[in-house]
Amino acid sequence: MNATQRLHDLGQSLWLDNITRDMLDDGTLERYVREFSVTGLTSNPTIFEHALGKSRAYDAAIREGVAAGLEGEELFFSLALDDLCRAADLFLPVHRRTSGVDGFVSLEVSPLLAYDTGATTRAAEQLFARAGRPNLHIKIPGTAEGLPAIEEATFAGVPVNVTLLFSREQYLAAADAWLCGVERRIAAGLDPDVRSVASLFISRWDVAVAERVPSELKNRLGIAIGRRTYAAARELHASPRWQRAMNAGARPQRVLWASTGTKDPEASDVLYVEAFASPYTVDTVPEKTLLAFADHGTVGDPLPIDGGDAEDVLLRFAEAGIDVDALAEQLQREGAQAFVKSWNALLASLAEKASASGVRS
């Protein structure tokens, strides 16, 4: 039994943080499901930028889209939904077998909308309706402006993957927004079972402080933040507020560990996957990390539900001059900016391919 199967048996979902039309066409994704217990996937603008820029698999679809009058974001979402609907169909048996817990794929709204509540809400509802798949998460950033959109999309019955979370406080704000949407559905007599995940980004913490802390603290900040957040999630799920919602038919919003590829070449390439083994959570991993973990990863004790040594470790970072609250806000801003940059590069690449197709809209 390989490590990915042992992680699955522990109760954690392993999702691939990647999608390309090539891996759908050549059976790679299906093989990962079969051999590595992959039960879902996530995508983002950077992933699609790389997929479209490095493959000719989209050329025919781009020509067809241009001939139909599509351009820019509309052309992109047409291509992305084709890929993600195929992946969603592949994971649909998992989704059904787990009664809607697992088997999701994720599509992000335009990152240009990260600070526009109304436009984000409308885009989330429209994309989910266009896909017509129950196991599609719409990714909405957990920015201050994104929080009302998370609530409104949840109230509308749209499964949400809250992205760009970097701290316990950002997680709790996002969880509150989602739960408010669920509670409004209960009050309105609607089905409160609207699935969601809250994505906490890990490795970017350690990249941000790598040159500012002593060697004994290297690659420890992301894990400490994750442990602190996991403890908060477990406390929330034990609260009377959450238990009232669950009694009415709601199901928990799962914590998703994101950005779990190791960035430090001197550290273990499976550092974060091993550190965040925990039941009823999701770990979304880059393809390289998935293959490494399947090859030589180990599954030890699960995350401590009380956060373990997280607060002691975070105190040491504070003593080293790291303000984690300020850094969390900085990382969220930078994350949103990075997705905008990738989005613009993606649309530029797509426009170039559309122009080269020789078809006039």
Which residues are catalytically annotated? 139
Q: Looking at the DSSP assignment, which residues form a beta bridge with residue 105?
A: 41, 136
DSSP assignment, residue 298?
A: -
Question: Which residues in 331-361 are b (16+ Cβ under 10 Å) and which e?
Answer: bbeebbebbeebbebbbebbeebbeebeeee
What is the distance between the alpha carbons of residues 56 and 37, in angstroms, rounded to a whole number? Answer: 29
Dihedral, CA of residue 79, residue 80, residue 83 and residue 88, to nearest 10:
-140
What is the distance between the alpha carbons of residues 312 and 25, in angstroms, rounded to a whole number? Answer: 48
Which of 238, 240, 233, 239 is CA-nearest to residue 196?
233
DSSP string, 166-200: -SHHHHHHHHHHHHHHHHHHHHTT------EEEEE
What is the distance between the alpha carbons of residues 301 and 315, in angstroms, rounded to a whole number? Answer: 24
How would you classify the pairing of strands 13-16 and 38-41? Answer: parallel
Cα distances (Å, whole numbers) of residue 190 to 91, 184, 248: 26, 8, 10
Question: Which residues in 281-314 are b (16+ Cβ under 10 Å) and which e?
Answer: bbbbbbeebbebbbeebebeeebebebbebeebb
